[in-house]
Chain A
Amino acid sequence: MISVENISKSFDAVEAVKNVSFSAKPGEIFGLIGPNGAGKSTTIRMIMNIIAPDSGRILFDGRPMVEADKERIGYLPEERGLYKKVKMNDMLLYLGELKGADRSRLQDNIDRWLKKFDLTGWQYRPISELSRGMSQKVQFVAAVAHEPAILFFDEPFAGLDPVSSDLLRESIIELSGKGCTVLFSTHIMEQAERLCNRIFLINSGKQVVYGTLDEIKSAYGSKTVAIEYDGDGSFIRRLPYVAKADLYQRWAELDLADNADPDELLQELARRLSIRRFEIKAPSLHSIFVSLVGGAKEKGDAS
């Protein structure tokens, strides 16, 4: 459990992080989301104890973080790099041992992860011979091989092909399933939407939104339901759940009323019609983000 309490950090005149608070629990995938330059990396560095906050505190299982806690954290930084001339296996052992991991157990984990990512053939070759995608995956292995309880992935999918991305996503979900606390930062909303249970949206160093994905979606933007049916649908317009309805012959798009429960709507419709399709179209995180932060800002920073 990591609790961040009112942390702030300024560099010279620039306030990079302002009064940020959140917590991440074991077993959840927590998204720290925001455009580039929003203060994500500074926040991460403060949690990592690389830089100290000007004010506020960071609690690790309810107590202030100490140097030894670094061993329980696995970190995939946004700025990636490994020693070019060193063999992959030596590099992974070195980074794992710096985290205090037991060598033989570490080696087993490295072997297992490299097999999973299809990198076994490169294990005893210098890092310089790896392709960009490969070294991305090696970096991921470096973050997880010492079996940390808390994982911090900064833009983990950047530069990966779709197959590797899927493999990585699978691995992150698996680690979270084992009880790891996964903190995950990205500026790509679709990724956050597919992976995260809870989200902290940060912009210009300040909290924009914080909560579960459902909470955020219901709080920002109305829900739309699309249905396909057989039968007379003219009654739909008069249902209390519906704020606005576009009705066609066998197809309709409905804006739900505030506090309307889509489950009740489905039951009501199913009693009177033959429903072939029922889809709740929640607003995307992307559109929420854009509406909250401003389209221009995101467009400019994401490039």
Chain B
Amino acid sequence: MNRMFKVIKMEFRMTAANKAFIIITILGPFLLLAVTVLPSLLTRSSTGVAEGTVVGIVGADERLMAGLRSAVKESPVTVVSGSSEQSMREALRETGVKAFVLIPDDYLSAGSLQYFSATGTDFLLRDMVRTFIGNAIVSIRMEKEGLDAERISYLSSRPWLETIVVSKDGDGAGQDEFSVIMTSIAFVMLLYMTILLHGQSAARSVLKEKTSKTVEIMLSSIKPSEMLFGKIFGQAAAGLLQYAFWISTSFLLIKVIGPAANLNLPVALNGANLFYLVVFFILAFFIYSSAYAGIGAAAEDESHLGQLSWPIMIFLIVPMVMVSAIIMNPSAPLVVFLSLFPLTAPIVMFERILIGSPAAWEVILCICILVATVAGITFAAGKIFRVGILMTGKRFKFGEILKWVRYKSA
């Protein structure tokens, strides 16, 4: 036990001193912040377009111009009339005009209008301008046909749906689904990345014992199982340190920075979800790092390790590929199955929890299944490790390695 603790300490030190580890640890919260808070900052102005944005209109007659002016009255956009395309082009480059639209003489029958922009990526502004011009043109067409535009607009308006998230803690404020999806994806990405990172790190650490030829001197001092679990726990300690840093920055954000800066924080960024993030990280970590460590012991070199780890990685990648499908159908039978199947469960169940779909018994069952899997997989990894760690000179196939689980221990 004492010796294993020393292996844990060494493994932790070697992982935590790694530059990539430090960079990811520090940048992690910024990534989370970027994906979760930035959209909320952008959508604070409700339209995503800055107040006082000037848009030029070239070639519009008085009637269209008047219609446009009244259409933009309630919006952050101001329209100015430009004399020619040339002068507007200059204004676009030199003054505060963000975009302009060229109105042809036959604009009532035109299928498309030309929109000139300084960036070409201001989709929100473009869509807004399109709506205003479109509405103005439609009104003119209706008037020409002798119809009452205001009455038609009233008759054809459809009410908007405001989302209210219902949970045990009471009704949440209307959080738009965009923010929920982005936050869920950010969380799931974080879980996926850290499982992959620490799993592979465990595998490389084991493989390094073989390639650096330290394995024999280590095994002359400690048992293979002490070495395996020392490495896994050391890696786990480094992973948990990373998570501790992230969770504390998140709480700082929720409790201090968020209220102080009056940020509209996503509802998904809360204590319960952070708790589940850690729980599923720990469970997934032990499943994947044990499997990876076993494979690391069987591998001959880095490229062989890459080949061998594919069958395991698939189970990590599938839930990532399916993330949007899972978010949209969190209770579909396949999704429920994947949230209980040991290798995909950590990520899929966590996705479902973020959306708020699983029943309590499903979460408990999932955690029980995962705990049992951890026990089984560490046992198998220990067997593979014992055989593989002293094997050199042959590139074993994945199937051959699985057979080692049945070997009697030395």
Mark A residues whose CB is within 8 Å of B. Answer: 45, 48, 50-52, 67, 70-71, 73, 75, 77, 79-86, 94-95, 97-100, 139, 142-143, 152
Instruction: Name the residue on B nearest A81 (C-beta).
Output: B213
Q: Given A50-B390, A94-B6: A99 and B221 within 8 A (CB)?
A: yes
- Residue B216 interfacial (CB < 8 Å): yes
List of 7 A-B pairs having minimum Cβ-Cβ separation, nearest first: A81-B213, A77-B216, A75-B220, A81-B212, A98-B221, A79-B213, A52-B410
B212 and A84 within 8 A (CB): yes
A67 and B214 within 8 A (CB): no
Report the minimal beta-carbon distance from A231 to chain B, rounded to whole angstroms.
Answer: 60
| Distance in angstroms between the alpha carbons of A60 and B3 in the assembled complex | 22
- Residue B14 interfacial (CB < 8 Å): yes
| Distance in angstroms between the alpha carbons of A67 and B7 in the assembled complex | 17
Q: Given A50-B390, A52-B410, A83-B14: A98 and B3 within 8 A (CB)?
A: yes
Mark B residues whose CB is within 8 Å of A. Answer: 2-3, 6-7, 10, 14, 17, 208, 212-223, 390, 410
With a cutoff of 8 Å between Cβ atoms, the chain A residues found around residue B3 in the complex are: 98, 100
A97 and B212 within 8 A (CB): no
With a cutoff of 8 Å between Cβ atoms, the chain B residues found around residue A139 in the complex are: 217
Instruction: Name the residue on A nearest B2 (C-beta).
Output: A100
Report the minimal beta-carbon distance from A57 to chain B, rounded to whole angstroms.
Answer: 15
Partner of B216, one of A52, A71, A75, A98: A75
B213 and A48 within 8 A (CB): no
A98 and B213 within 8 A (CB): no
With a cutoff of 8 Å between Cβ atoms, the chain B residues found around residue A94 in the complex are: 6, 10
With a cutoff of 8 Å between Cβ atoms, the chain B residues found around residue A82 in the complex are: 212, 214
- Return 30 A-B CB contacts under 8 Å, by A number: A45-B216, A48-B220, A50-B216, A50-B390, A51-B410, A70-B222, A75-B216, A75-B220, A77-B216, A77-B217, A77-B220, A80-B213, A81-B213, A82-B214, A83-B208, A83-B212, A83-B214, A85-B14, A86-B10, A94-B6, A95-B217, A95-B221, A98-B3, A98-B6, A98-B7, A98-B221, A98-B222, A100-B2, A139-B217, A143-B217
| Distance in angstroms between the alpha carbons of A109 and B344 in the assembled complex | 51
Instruction: Name the residue on B nearest A78 (C-beta).
Output: B216
Report the minimal beta-carbon distance from B83 to chain A, rounded to whole angstroms.
Answer: 69
B213 and A77 within 8 A (CB): yes
| Distance in angstroms between the alpha carbons of A45 and B219 in the assembled complex | 9
Partner of B221, one of A45, A70, A152: A70
| Distance in angstroms between the alpha carbons of A52 and B224 in the assembled complex | 13
Q: Given A50-B390, A51-B390, A83-B212: A97 and B6 within 8 A (CB)?
A: yes
Q: Given A50-B390, A51-B390: A79 and B216 within 8 A (CB)?
A: yes
Q: Given A51-B410, A94-B10, A142-B217: A67 and B212 within 8 A (CB)?
A: no
With a cutoff of 8 Å between Cβ atoms, the chain B residues found around residue A97 in the complex are: 6
With a cutoff of 8 Å between Cβ atoms, the chain A residues found around residue B14 in the complex are: 83, 85-86
Given A81-B212, A83-B14, 11 other A-B residues pairs in contact with their CB atoms under 8 A: A45-B390, A70-B221, A75-B216, A75-B217, A77-B213, A81-B214, A83-B214, A98-B3, A98-B7, A100-B2, A152-B220
| Distance in angstroms between the alpha carbons of A67 and B224 in the assembled complex | 12
| Distance in angstroms between the alpha carbons of A98 and B216 in the assembled complex | 13
Q: Given A83-B14, A94-B10: A48 and B214 within 8 A (CB)?
A: no
B214 and A50 within 8 A (CB): no
A73 and B220 within 8 A (CB): yes
| Distance in angstroms between the alpha carbons of A81 and B212 in the assembled complex | 5
Instruction: Name the residue on A nearest B224 (C-beta).
Output: A50
Report the minimal beta-carbon distance from A65 to chain B, rounded to whole angstroms.
Answer: 12
Report the minimal beta-carbon distance from B382 to chain A, rounded to whole angstroms.
Answer: 16
With a cutoff of 8 Å between Cβ atoms, the chain A residues found around residue B217 in the complex are: 75, 77, 80-81, 95, 139, 142-143
With a cutoff of 8 Å between Cβ atoms, the chain A residues found around residue B7 in the complex are: 98
With a cutoff of 8 Å between Cβ atoms, the chain A residues found around residue B220 in the complex are: 48, 50, 70, 73, 75, 77, 152
With a cutoff of 8 Å between Cβ atoms, the chain A residues found around residue B10 in the complex are: 86, 94
Report the minimal beta-carbon distance from B399 to chain A, rounded to whole angstroms.
Answer: 17
Report the minimal beta-carbon distance from A70 to chain B, rounded to whole angstroms.
Answer: 6
Report the minimal beta-carbon distance from B10 to chain A, rounded to whole angstroms.
Answer: 5
With a cutoff of 8 Å between Cβ atoms, the chain A residues found around residue B208 in the complex are: 83
Report the minimal beta-carbon distance from A172 to chain B, rounded to whole angstroms.
Answer: 18
| Distance in angstroms between the alpha carbons of A98 and B3 in the assembled complex | 5
With a cutoff of 8 Å between Cβ atoms, the chain A residues found around residue B223 in the complex are: 67
| Distance in angstroms between the alpha carbons of A85 and B222 in the assembled complex | 22
| Distance in angstroms between the alpha carbons of A81 and B218 in the assembled complex | 10
From A79, A82, A85, A152, name the one whose CB has the most chain B CB atoms within 10 angstroms.
A79
Partner of B219, one of A48, A83, A95: A48
With a cutoff of 8 Å between Cβ atoms, the chain A residues found around residue B2 in the complex are: 100
| Distance in angstroms between the alpha carbons of A99 and B2 in the assembled complex | 10
With a cutoff of 8 Å between Cβ atoms, the chain B residues found around residue A45 in the complex are: 216, 390
